[in-house]
Amino acid sequence: MDLKTLLNKEQYEAATTIEGPVLVLAGAGSGKTRVLTYRIAHMVEDLNIPHYNILAITFTNKAAGEMKERIKKLIDVNVDSMWVSTFHSCCVRILRREIDKLGYNKNFAIYDSSDQKTLVKECMKELNINEKDIDEKEIIGKIGKQKDRLISAEEYKKQNENDFRKNKIADAYLLYQKRLKNSNALDFDDLIFKTVELFKKNPDILKFYQNKFKYIMVDEYQDTNKAQYELIKMLAQGHKNLFVVGDDDQCIYQWRGADISNILDFEKDYPNTKVIKLEQNYRSKSNILNAANGVIKNNAQRKSKVLRTENPPGEKIKIYRAFSDIDEGNFVVKQIKELMEKEDMDFKDFAILYRTNAQSRIFEDIFMKRSIPYRIIGGQKFYDRKEIKDIIAYLKFINNLQDDISLKRIINVPKRAIGAATVSKIQEFASYMDECMYSILLEVENIPGLTARNIASINKFTSLINSFNRTKDNVSVSKLIEEILESTGYLKQLKESKNIEDMSRIENIKELVSAAVEFESTSEDQSLSAFLEKIALVSDIDNYTEDADTAVLMTIHSAKGLEFPVVFMVGMENGIFPGTRSMENFSEMEESRRLCYVGITRAKEKLYMTSAQSRMVFGRSVSYSESDFINEVSMNLRESIHQNKNGAMKNTNKSYVSSNLNSHSLSSFSNNKAEKKINSILSQQYSNSNNDSNDKRKFDSNEITIGRKVRHEKFGVGTVVSAIKTYDDVKITIAFDNMGIKQLMFSVAPIELL
User: What are the residue numbers of the active site?
Assistant: 32-33, 219-220, 250, 602
Residue 371 is labelled as binding a ligand: no
Answer for the pair 732, 722: CB distance below 8 angstroms, yes or no.
Answer: yes
- Cα three-residue angle 288-333-552, rounded to 5 degrees: 65
Contacts of 580 (CB under 8 A, 6+ apart): none
DSSP string covering 387-424: HHHHHHHHHHHHH-TT-HHHHHHHTTSS--S--HHHHH
**Buried b / exposed e across 380-416, counting CB within 10 Å, b at 16+?**
eeebebebbbbbbbbbbbbbbbbbbbbbbbbbbbeeb
How far is residue 459's CA from residue 67's CA, in Å, rounded to a whole number?
Answer: 49
Helix (H, G, I), strand (E, B), or coil: what is residue 547?
A: coil
Answer for the pair 53, 212: CB distance below 8 angstroms, yes or no.
Answer: yes
Name the H helices within 472-544: 477-488, 490-496, 500-522, 528-536
Of 550, 610, 600, 504, nearest to 376 (Cα)?
550
How far is residue 356's CA from residue 353's CA, in Å, rounded to a whole number?
Answer: 9
Name the H helices within 601-672: 628-631
Residue 314 is labelled as binding a ligand: no
Answer for the pair 718, 737: CB distance below 8 angstroms, yes or no.
Answer: yes
Contacts of 74 (CB under 8 A, 6+ apart): 1, 37, 38, 41, 45
Residue 185 is inside which H or E element, if any? strand 185-187
Amino acid at position 584, single letter:
E
* Residue 345: Cβ-neighbour burial (10 angstroms; 0-12, 13-18, 19+): middle
Amino acid at position 333, single letter:
V
Torsion of CA 561, 379, 317, 344, to 10 degrees: 90
The number of CA neighbours under 13 Å toward the Cβ of 395 is 31
Answer for the pair 276, 18: CB distance below 8 angstroms, yes or no.
Answer: no
Contacts of 375 (CB under 8 A, 6+ apart): 548, 550, 551, 552, 553
How far is residue 24's CA from residue 274's CA, in Å, rounded to a whole number?
Answer: 8
Of 23, 25, 57, 28, nearest to 40 (Cα)?
57
Residue 602 is inside which H or E element, if any? none
End-to-end Cα distance, the chain = 56
DSSP string covering 34-72: HHHHHHHHIIIIIS---GGGEEEEESSHHHHHHHHHHHH
How far is residue 93's CA from residue 560's CA, in Å, rounded to a whole number?
Answer: 26
Give the Cβ contact number of residue 711 at 10 Å.
Answer: 14
Answer for the pair 47, 268: CB distance below 8 angstroms, yes or no.
Answer: no
Residue 33 is labelled as binding a ligand: yes
Give the Cβ contact number of residue 378 at 10 Å.
Answer: 17
Answer for the pair 578, 589: CB distance below 8 angstroms, yes or no.
Answer: yes
Residue 30 is labelled as binding a ligand: yes
Residue 28 is labelled as binding a ligand: yes
Residue 465 is inside which H or E element, if any? helix 452-471
Answer for the pair 115, 183: CB distance below 8 angstroms, yes or no.
Answer: no
Residue ranges for the known binding site for ATP are: 26-33
Residue ranges for the known binding site are: 26-33
